[in-house]
A and B are shown apart, each in its own frame.
Chain A
Amino acid sequence: MYPNDYRYTKDHEWIKVSGDTGTIGITDYAQHELGDVVFVEMPAVGTKVSAGKVFGTVESVKAVSEIFAPVSGEVTETNATLTSTPETLNSDPHGGAWLIKIKLANPSELSGLMDAAAYQAFISEKEASA
């Protein structure tokens, strides 16, 4: 379910790193909690995002949730398909429904994130306590 080469946050975002570029999205757990997604608000290309700070919002039929940047960097690309088909976030959260790509400012921040196994343990614990 959760790709091994991704890193995860406690706010349920993922990041996939290739070279100095990070692709960021929200996890399957997050999309499931949100329900049917109807709108995605993303920053403009060139915006600087900081680790742990809000960079966009995802609106579902029941809530509007903020999306936090896993690490710092500058936005190089946003996923245009989400503007016309936001529901992709429900069907393909770890693939086609990535939100933004950033040029990493400080790759060492990645070490503070969870790997797939740790994230899975984190959400099982969450579900057990819920």
Chain B
Amino acid sequence: MRYLPKSTSERREMLDAVGVPSIETLFESIPEQFRLKEPLNLPDAMSEQEIIEYFRARAKENSVGYTSFLGAGVYNHLRSVVTDALIQRGEFLTSYTPYQAEISQGTLQAIFEFQTLMCQLTGMEVANASMWDGSTATTEAVLMAERLTGRHRVVVARSLHPEYRQVLETYTRNLGLRIDEIGFSGTGQVDATRLEDAITSETAAVVVQSPNFFGVLEQMPSLAALAHSRGALLVVSIAEGVSLGAVRPPAEADIVAMEGQSFGLAPSYGGPYAGVIATRDKFVRQMPGRLAGETVDSGGKRGYVLTLATREQHIRREKATSNICTNQALCALAVNIHLCLLGKEGLKELAAQNLAKARFALDELEKIRGVRRAFSGPYFNEFVVEFPRSVKMVNAELLKHKIIGPLPVGSYFSDLTKRGLFCVTETISRTEIERMAEAIRDILSKPI
């Protein structure tokens, strides 16, 4: 968007042209009581020097030199400077909605490549141009399943990230969707026996996450068979995309919703990230968001366009398939670049490192008296460990060693206190893992 400066006399000229006495007159359609009468409560403007000082002071508040074992939906992975250098090019950084194919070929091609990579990763046939993040993508997948089946109940695994479940509840609170939750067994996987009873002829979809919130991988083929036997769809949510370098893609799923953060996007306080929705070709018309397609121009040359846009909000208004019309183009581009840098073998190698380090960390922890693995199911780079005392207490001590400990699972699940969710990625060295285990051994050996 261009910057259009305007002077006081130019404002006057424009107001005269429209025929109104003041800018305030333009807001008269807003009822009096809703209009703000005083200036916004903002601090005074600062000089350039003051701003620099201010941000230097804030930067000093950042914690540096800590080793973090936090994951649970946001993952620390190595990022290449190449990604940032490329996405900051003006052509990408400032580009807006590529409705006009004539001037947006680069952006559209990048989106098309992103979609292709997402299909290859998830085992699906079609992926969209990205959504906000993993949680909203999961919710949109549920709404899509409702449209496809005409049913209005969903069975959601309790092991779906609790914050994803909150987003689903908020989003659907007034949409007449009934959400039934299904627990987990000792493996940490969805309780298949209870699931069988929970799915009815009214169930639109079964929603699971894999690796799930506890880091445990779900048994996709049997879950899909159970859902399909009652005419329900299987929605698979993936928060840690790097797992797809080591485990089979959820090819039995009907809709895959994924968080793209692990691929080249920094944790950055929770966003912006890039959500992914991928599905089967036959469901493409109920897929939310936008889609770039490959075509040929009048000269027969390859080109890219936004496709199936007739179902989108800017054309169909309130009758649009979904009102989530925007996408995270720049974040999706970062994901695209990051994955291209990694390559197929690079992703496999990365996943193997995560798996090996997580296994090593769990082995080290299990050697500590009183510490045991909470779930027996297969895991990727996250796992839950049970401690003989409060996780928060252990974490407070770990911080003194500059170690950010595991996520206290009890904060989300009142039935799972004293359990900590560890995440171990390639960014953590063997020495750091040993240091963490040693610190925990030391903490637990002392009386409370």
Chain B: interface size category:
under 10
Q: A60–B310 contact, CB under 8 A?
A: yes
Give the distance to chain A from B201, nearest Cβ to Cβ, in Å: 15
A41 to B282 Cα, complex, angstroms: 12
Interface residues of A in 43-63 (CB under 8 A from B): 59-63
Chain B residue nearest to A44 (CB atoms) is B150
Give the distance to chain A from B333, nearest Cβ to Cβ, in Å: 28
A119 beta carbon closer than 8 Å to chain B: no
A123 to B285 Cα, complex, angstroms: 31
A59 to B310 Cα, complex, angstroms: 8
A79 to B43 Cα, complex, angstroms: 66
Residues of A within 8 A of B311 (CB): 59, 64
A66 to B319 Cα, complex, angstroms: 10
B59 beta carbon closer than 8 Å to chain A: no
A63 to B316 Cα, complex, angstroms: 8
Residues of B within 8 A of A2 (CB): none
Interface size on A, residues (CB 8 A): 9
A6 beta carbon closer than 8 Å to chain B: no
Residues of A within 8 A of B315 (CB): 63-64
Q: A63–B310 contact, CB under 8 A?
A: yes
Residues of A within 8 A of B316 (CB): 63-64
Interface residues of A in 16-63 (CB under 8 A from B): 39, 41, 59-63
Chain B residue nearest to A62 (CB atoms) is B310
Give the distance to chain A from B300, nearest Cβ to Cβ, in Å: 19
Residues of B within 8 A of A39 (CB): 285
Residues of A within 8 A of B310 (CB): 59-64
Give the distance to chain A from B331, nearest Cβ to Cβ, in Å: 29
A39 to B311 Cα, complex, angstroms: 12
Give the distance to chain A from B301, nearest Cβ to Cβ, in Å: 20
Interface residues of B in 280-318 (CB under 8 A from A): 285, 310-311, 315-316
Residues of B within 8 A of A66 (CB): 319
Chain A residue nearest to B150 (CB atoms) is A44
A63 to B320 Cα, complex, angstroms: 11
A59 to B319 Cα, complex, angstroms: 13
Give the distance to chain B from A43, nearest Cβ to Cβ, in Å: 10
Interface residues of B in 142-186 (CB under 8 A from A): none
A91 to B235 Cα, complex, angstroms: 40
Residues of A within 8 A of B319 (CB): 64, 66
Chain A residue nearest to B315 (CB atoms) is A63
Residues of B within 8 A of A60 (CB): 310
For B285, B310, B311, B316, the residue with the greatest tally of chain A CB atoms inside 10 Å of its CB is B310
A118 to B85 Cα, complex, angstroms: 66
A41 to B319 Cα, complex, angstroms: 15
Give the distance to chain B from A89, nearest Cβ to Cβ, in Å: 15
Residues of B within 8 A of A61 (CB): 310
- The digit string for B234-278, where 1 denotes a CB below 8 A from any CB of A, is 000000000000000000000000000000000000000000000
- The digit string for A54-78, where 1 denotes a CB below 8 A from any CB of B, is 0000011111101000000000000
Chain B residue nearest to A63 (CB atoms) is B310
What 12 new A-B contacts, CB under 8 Å, besides A61-B310, A62-B310, A64-B319? A39-B285, A41-B285, A59-B285, A59-B310, A59-B311, A60-B310, A63-B310, A63-B315, A63-B316, A64-B310, A64-B315, A66-B319
Can you show 17 pairs from A to B with CB atoms below 8 A apart? A39-B285, A41-B285, A59-B285, A59-B310, A59-B311, A60-B310, A61-B310, A62-B310, A63-B310, A63-B315, A63-B316, A64-B310, A64-B311, A64-B315, A64-B316, A64-B319, A66-B319
Interface residues of B (CB under 8 A from A): 285, 310-311, 315-316, 319
**Which 8 A-B pairs give the minimum distances between C-beta atoms?**
A64-B310, A63-B310, A64-B311, A59-B310, A64-B316, A39-B285, A62-B310, A63-B315
